[in-house]
Structure 1
Amino acid sequence: MNSIHDLSRAKKRAIFLAVDSILVPLALYCAFAFRYGTGTPWMPISDSWVLFPVISMWGVGIIWALRLHRIKLNAFDTHSMSNIGVASLLIAFSAVMLSYWLKLSAPRSVPLLLGLFFCIFAVAARVVGLNLLRWLSERGGNRKPVAIYGAGAAGIQLAAALRQASEARPVFFIDDNPNLHGLMVAGLPVHDPAKLGKLIKARNIEQILLAVPSMAKKRRDELISKLGVYEVEVQVLPSYVDLMSGKGLADSLRTVAPDQLLGRDKVDLDTPEIAKTYAGRVVMVTGAGGSIGSELCRQLLNCNPARIVLFEQGEFQLYSIDQELQLEAKATGIPIVSRLGSVTNKARVAGVIAEEGVEIVLHAAAYKHVPLVEENELEGARNNVLGTQVVAEAAAEAKLERFILVSTDKAVRPTNIMGATKRMAELVVQDVQTRNAATKFAMVRFGNVLGSSGSVLPLFQKQIARGGPVTVTHKDVTRFFMTIPEAARLVLLAGAYAKGRDVFVLDMGEPQKIIDIAHRMITLSGRKVKDPKTGIGDIEVKVTGLRPGEKLYEELLIDDDSLLPTPHAKILRAQECMLSQIEVASMLRELQGSILDADKVRLRRLIAARVEGYHVQDVDSRVS
């Protein structure tokens, strides 16, 4: 099939000219056979044999003059047929004139039959050739089978264009108009949308093209959402206005929503306990400019707190979330207070808590990117461990109502410094609780938060937008996933359920393979994963090897037997082992000494001694 398409235009024209030239004497023979009612009209032909060479040569001239050999099979239309009709008449007229001039004995009906047969043969040859090419394209090649939604003018034009393309093959139309169901339009059957699921499986459809450019945007979005349940690509033909303004199909591709990648249903975390816990309270969110911190602030606006205090060390991040929240805050009458500062600055943290009359602290400030913290372990430990100590002790000294630490599943038997420092932060919070009963301290462990900064969602989206490759560190690496709203809601619920020393986790179902997430994102973005063997597809998925400190899989609990129920079926509470006050005090002194002396080896030795389950990832497993 490819060899036919790869022929030069000159060679294709030569083939068409040769076929048409052969049809002229063939038509003349059929004219004699039909006129005399026999398949062997040799006697009458012998009396008029001169017609064959002369008309054959003259016919080639007429075919050349009328450019019949330049008619493209894919563009064979009524205009092309009219040209063949004119050529047939000229050939017939030439045969009549030649017969009179040479006074041949052939009946005058033979030239008329000659023209009729040539016309029939020329049209039939092109129809057969066109159908043969279509059959070959369906039998072989790499053209993906597609369905076109909309059998109107745009859909018909799209089908005609796709028939000439080498990338896709239109198989059928889908249309909402019941009057079209069961009909053939532009050579394709039109089906009811209710049958789409069965048709996709039966015809191996890989892509649905929405060809209704006049459809209202709201209706189009609803339709795209409905089509999204099928595991096929969905692309939208731009409206005529978009085409005129220079927009194309790429602008119409759907953005992948985080919840489409979860591999499970979203967890409903809307409970009355949240509103009761935060209503009328002054709530401070540390790390308010981060992915989780900013979402916490957004959701707190719906809890009717007395005031929200945004605490953040990044000026631009604080400015961004403050600008976003102020408009809605004015509408609800909830004051928003923005305070610059580092969680490692004890005086600043205590000062803000006292000045603003803070009652609840949601501690989301942390360095969380594994490779960066692995290379900057001293600063990671300073911010994540000592920063947590500062905020927790300030909350205890002010006798706040609640303190919630945002932790991570990487804190469980960690293989990296980030996870180890978060586990140390948990130990610090547990220790502070033992000496301060007035404040309820709790911790929340997340899986990977889809859509947060540094997560796979924005990374993969950028890589897909660039045309790939999408990089995965290991083909077997798995993670628990949750959305940003789920993560923030879990923190708020943990605050509501906290009794002291609690570790809260969300039942996130089975862990998902990162490589499966990559494949799903590519498909949902309207592209196709490139097959490494055949090279067929759009986006390559490349395995790069585990990074330093990265685990193949994550866990949420150190001790699964410590699980206790909460009022919410999907939220679990664990009371895990802790260090004694003396052990925590010794750990913090050693940690401070390591940071003051800038001693990385001493810090890693401390982590190995104090963090249960800490181990360095085996190099062999990182590269396998």
Structure 2
Amino acid sequence: MLEQLIAWPRPRKALILLFLDSALVAPLVALTILLFRPLQPEIGGALANAAPVLVLAAGVMSHLSGLARIRLKAFASEGLGRAALLSLTLVLTGGVVLSVTTGRLELALPVFFGLLYFLVQIGQRALLLRLATRIYRHSRVVSRIAIYGASPSGIALSNVLRDRSGLLTCAFLDESPALRGAQLNGLPILEPAEADRLRRDFNIDRVILADPALTGARRDALSRRLAALGLRVESLPAFAQFLEDRDLAARLEPVSAPALLHRAEFEDTVLPIHSYYAGKAVLVSGAGGSIGRELCRQILAAGPARLIMLELSEPALYHAEAELRGLAEAVGAHLVPKLGSAGDPLLVRAIFTQHSIDVVLHAAAYKHVPIVEENPRAGLSNNVFATAGLARAALDAGVARFVLISSDKAVAPRSVMGASKRMAELVVQELASRAGGTVFAIVRFGNVLGSSGSVVPLFEEQIQAGGPLTLTDRRATRYFMTIAEAARLVLLCGTWDDSCAVYALDMGRPIRMLDLARQMVVARGLRLREAATPDGEIEIVEIGLRPGEKLHEEQMTGPQTGPTAHPKIGRIHPPCLPEIGIAALLRDLREAIDAPDPFRLDAFLARLPEAAISEPDQIVPRGVDEVISSGRGRPNERVLGVADPAEIEPLRRTDRAAGGAVACGERGSDPPGRPGACADALERADDRADLIVQKTPRAQMKTVFTPMRDHHLFDRDLVEGLHRGVRLAHARAESGEVVMSDQMGCPLSHRLDIERILHPPDQPAIMGHRRATLHQPEEVAPFLR
């Protein structure tokens, strides 16, 4: 009955309050007469006769003032003044009635009655609010909870949550056979094998893990099982923390992402990290970032003499120092925050001189692929030249260890960020080959959970906002590792004496982003809005790959990957360049960055040396890669290339021709006396085993994957449409390379007309977004034969 009253519409509730305001008058008049009878017995009858008038006045004034329409929870802020006005009205009404009845002015009795009415009305509203709140909590429970662990922590949690708004504890889960079928705090205790009853019998949507003995693999397995039932699983921090903070409900934490990713949390083994870094002076660049901060935290746990935190962002440095200052004081380490860039030679030199650095961990880098893609100059300057400057300064200062934090995007890079990390690796590899006392190491790994911009926090925010979840591609996969695990393994690599080593951390198996999104939604007790569940709460929206992103990340595997002393660390042997090659590489990169023509930088990236873009088991036969355009320039650009069948033959023999190359020509490519020969050859390209033209609509342009490399190909119709927007922008006569940009690229008809692809060279150049690499006529001639 009371629950039905709570659900009534507001006008009906206001009518009830109006009735209660009027009904209060009669009992309060009786109470007033009872209290004043010994003092003024003759007044009692007069006041009793005035009661009907006071009842009417209370009802009318409550209605006119709007007091009855004020919500109970807003009474304290909006109703007190109106209640006082109503009480004053009753005082004046009672005074007038008594004066007329007795023939003399009577104020004491009406004033007492008015004050009593005011106080009782406030108490009445408070009582109604408390009653309505309790009814609402039980009838409109936000979350129905089961607690795992009939332990003291679980019992304490149940007691604390008993009066929490929106949280109703319905059952316990516990593995103990002695508790089978028992009750605790009036709640049933179920076995984990009966977990399916939580939803079916109790309508539970959340399980809180409150058993401190439930850790590691057991907890992860239980979390996955409960999440598969559509239950939101949350862990309870150590109960000792709650002795200082009783607000348990606010401190419940979602189960760690590793459990959702089916990857066991990193379990620390006996590693020589603490013994190596203890008492040393350590420099961490990028100390305000996710990886940098975790490196600092774990280094401080080892008890270094000094930890120099180098960071370009002032807010990041401030927060990192504030977080780590207490830990540094606890271990007696000197924490030195340094604001600036690792590419500042004066600052770097001063740090090495003043602090006698023993170990450098270089984690500073621009890492967000789409942002670096849009800002290639800044990305290359920071990731390549800052690394080169810091590594050389470390070598000159006689630093014992230098560790470069690299990325799996350096494997066959097709983005500016990946190319910058690979070039940084080449610089460090070359320095490691020199004679000197510094041991250089490079550590590659992929995505880390919880870092800025990573997918798990993004999905958490989107789920909390009600969706939608944004996926670049439903087929996309990524490798994951926790920040703590990555930092621990990086520090371990820094203790080894093997210079010029490139290490790759074991990232486990790749995770499909769609599966991750679905698991995170289900773990929150929600459902995806898809064909099977059209009424789901969360929708997934596919937004497409951003510039520079790969559909699938790559890890170095094969015979060139060797083991190390740790099972989660492998050693790889990518090619390197000699000192003169590195000098030329950095010189050309500097000239390309400083050049006002943006195509200089594109051309530089397109001509990176084989060592920068290939791994040992992926190197294409020499000469072929110079002719076949393979997306080596700006990431995800669609490249037109000219291929000689004789040069493609080695690829065809190894079954790598499935991706092939799109053959195209340029004005002037036709042999003398054979106008249109290129166009004719292109028309026949579909029928050739070694030349494939991918036919997909422009909006659905896909990537053809081959063992060699991804080929971003033009649709035939799209190529024909280039004639509307293509302008000749830059030519390099010495290499025969022509860089073009297209403005529109709209498909027109089905036939390909090479004569219309390029406009005459005297037309104005237009900066665009797509480049096409073409070759000299003599390179095309064998193909035409």
1:196 aligned residue (194, 197, 214): 194
Alpha-carbon shift at residue 540 of structure 1 (Å): 1.2
User: Structure 1 residue 220: deviation in Å?
Assistant: 9.9
Instruction: Measure the CA separation in 2 of the matches of 1:547 and 1:249.
Output: 41
- The match for 2:78 is none
1:498 deviates by: 4.4
Per the alignment, residue 702 of structure 2 pairs with: 621
Distance 1:180 1:261, change over 3 A: closer
404-413 or 435-444, which deviates more: 435-444
Deviations 1:267-305 (A, max 9, x none): 435433212321221100000100000000000012221
Partner residue in 1 for 2:570: 572
Q: What amino acid sits opposite 2:562 in the alignment?
A: L
Q: Tell me how far 1:437 sits from its aligned partner.
A: 3.0
Q: 1:270 to 1:318 in 2, by over 3 A?
A: farther
Of 520-529 and 407-416, more deviation after overlay is shown by 520-529
Residue 254 of structure 1 deviates from its aligned partner by 4.0
- Number of the residue aligned with 2:284: 285
Matched-pair contact (CA < 8 Å) for 1:277–1:495: no
Residue 266 of structure 1 aligns with which residue?
A: 265
| 1:48-127 pair list within 5 angstroms | none
- Alpha-carbon distance, 1:553 to partner: 0.8
CA distance, structure 1, for counterparts of residue 247 and residue 280 of structure 2:
50
Distance in 1 of aligned mates of 2:279 and 2:505: 27
2:520 corresponds to 1:521: yes
Q: What SS does structure 2 have at the residue aligned with 1:496? A: coil
Cα distance change on mapping 1:591 and 1:173 into 2, 3 Å:
same
Q: Single out whichever of 523-532 and 427-436 deviates more from structure 2.
A: 523-532
Structure 1 partner of 2:431:
432
- Amino acid in structure 1 at the alignment position of 2:701: D
> What secondary structure does 2:433 align onto?
helix
Alignment of 1:221-260 (within 5 A): 228-229=223-224, 230-231=226-227, 232-234=230-232, 254-260=253-259
Instruction: Indicate whether 1:181 and 2:181 are aligned.
Output: yes
Bigger drift between 331-340 and 527-536 goes to 527-536
Q: Residues of 1 paired with 2:486 and 2:233: CA distance?
A: 32
Q: Closer, same or farther in 2 for the Cα pair 1:599/1:286, shift >3 Å?
A: farther
Q: 1:588 aligns with which of 586, 589, 598?
A: 586
Are 1:609 and 2:604 counterparts? no
Distance 1:205-1:536 versus aligned 2 partners, 3 A rule: farther
Aligned to 1:326: 325
Note if contact 2:407-2:418 (Cα within 8 Å) is conserved in structure 1: yes
SS at match of 2:341: coil
Q: Which residue identity lines up with residue 612 of structure 1 in the other structure?
A: I
- The answer as to whether partners of 1:467 and 1:539 remain within 8 angstroms in 2 is yes
Q: Unaligned regions of 5+ residues in structure 2, if any? A: 1-7, 9-143, 162-167, 235-245, 615-630, 639-699, 705-711, 713-785
What is the alpha-carbon distance in structure 1 between the residues aligned to residue 597 and residue 253 of structure 2?
A: 49
Contact 1:393–1:432, Cα closer than 8 Å, also in 2: yes
| SS state at 1:280 partner | coil
Distance 1:534 1:266, change over 3 A: closer
What's 2:719 paired with? Answer: none
- The equivalent residue for 1:21 is none
Q: For 1:561, what is the secondary structure of its paired residue?
A: coil
3-state DSSP of counterpart to 2:613: coil
- Matched with 1:304 is 303
Quote the residue 2:403 is aligned against.
Answer: 404
RMSD: 4.2
* 2:373–2:548 CA contact under 8 A, matched in 1: yes
Return the letter of the residue paired with 1:300: I
1:508 Cα deviation from its structure 2 partner: 2.1
Contact 1:254–1:525 (8 Å) recurs in 2: no
Query: TM-score normalized by structure 1?
Result: 0.65
Kindly state the Cα deviation for residue 368 of structure 1 after the two structures are TM-superposed: 0.3
In 2, the alpha carbon distance for the partners of 1:306 and 1:179 equals 53
1:390 aligned to 2:385? no
Q: Deviations over 1:26-75 (max 9, x none)?
A: xxxxxxxxxxxxxxxxxxxxxxxxxxxxxxxxxxxxxxxxxxxxxxxxxx
User: 1:197: how far off?
Assistant: 4.2
Structure 2 SS opposite 1:595 = helix
| Contact 2:474–2:514 under 8 Å retained in 1 | yes
Match of 1:132 in 2: none
Deviation at 1:179?
Answer: 8.8
SS in 1 for 2:296: helix
Q: Residue in 2 aligned with 1:357?
A: 356
Please tell me the residue identity of whatever aligns with 2:536. G
Structure 2 residue aligned with 1:469: 468
Alignment partner, residue 162 of structure 1: none
Q: Does 530-539 or 483-492 show the bigger shift?
A: 530-539
Is 458-467 or 373-382 further displaced after alignment?
458-467
Task: Give the drift of 1:590.
Answer: 0.8
Assess, with a 3 A threshold, how the Cα gap between structure 1 residues 417 and 515 changes in structure 2: closer, same or farther.
same
Per-residue CA distance 1:544-567 (angstroms, 9 max, x = gap): 11111110111122x632222211
Contact 1:173 1:191 in 2 (8 A): yes
Q: Is the contact made by 2:409 and 2:418 (CA closer than 8 Å) also made in structure 1?
A: yes
**SS in structure 2 opposite 1:476?**
coil
Structure 1 residue 395 displacement after superposition: 0.5
Looking at secondary structure, tell me which structure has more helix per residue: 1
Instruction: Extract unaligned runs of 5+ from structure 1.
Output: 1-8, 10-145, 159-169, 212-216, 237-246
Alignment CA distance shift 1:175-1:344 (3 Å): closer
Q: How many residues align?
A: 455
Shift of 1:173: 6.0
Tell me what 1:30 maps to: none
Task: Sort the Cα spacing of 1:315 and 1:192 in 2 relative to 1 into closer, same or farther, 3 A.
Answer: closer
Report the Cα distance in structure 2 between the residues aligned to 1:194 and 1:457, rounded to whole angstroms: 28
Deviation at 1:530, TM superposition (A): 2.3
Tell me, in whole angstroms, the C-alpha distance in 1 between the residues paired with 2:204 and 2:703: 37
Cα deviation for residue 435 of structure 1 reads 2.1
Q: Which has the higher contact order (CA 8 A, sep 6+)?
A: 1
* Distance change (3 Å), C-alpha of 1:598 and 1:288: farther
2:342 partner SS: coil
Between the aligned partners of 2:409 and 2:554, the Cα distance in structure 1 is 7
Cα distance in structure 1, aligned partners of 2:592 and 2:198: 62
CA distance in 1, matches of 2:172, 2:518: 27
Secondary structure of 1:457's aligned partner:
helix
**2:546 counterpart residue number:** 547
How far apart are 1:357 and its partner, in Å? 0.7
1:272/1:195 CA distance change after superposition, 3 Å: closer
Question: What is the distance in 1 between the residues matched to 2:338 and 2:410?
Answer: 29
Instruction: Give me the whole-angstrom Cα distance separating, in 2, the residues matched to 1:345 and 1:506.
Output: 30
Give the whole-Å Cα distance in 2 for the aligned partners of 1:400 and 1:235: 47
- Residue identity matched to 1:552: L
CA distance in 1, matches of 2:204, 2:602: 52
Q: Is the 8 A contact 1:547 1:622 kept in 2?
A: no
Task: State the partner residue of 1:374.
Answer: 373
CA contact 1:529–1:540 (8 Å) conserved in 2: yes
Measured against aligned partners, the alpha-carbon deviations of 1:286-328 in whole angstroms (never above 9, x if no partner) come to 0010000000000001222121111111111111111111111
Q: Deviations over 1:65-94 (max 9, x none)?
A: xxxxxxxxxxxxxxxxxxxxxxxxxxxxxx
Which residue identity lines up with residue 458 of structure 2 in the other structure? L
Shift of 1:465: 1.1
Write the deviation string for residues 564-599 of structure 1: whole angstroms up to 9, x where unpaired.
221112211112211222221111001111222244
Q: Which moves more between the two structures, 595-604 or 484-493?
A: 595-604
Report the identity percentage: 40
Shift of 1:538: 1.8
SS, match of residue 471 in structure 1: strand
Provide the residue aligned with 1:276 in structure 2.
275
1:205/1:562 Cα in 2 relative to 1: closer, same or farther (>3 Å)?
farther
TM normalised by structure 2 equals 0.52
Compute the displacement of 1:330 (Å): 1.0
Change (3 A) 1:209 1:263: closer
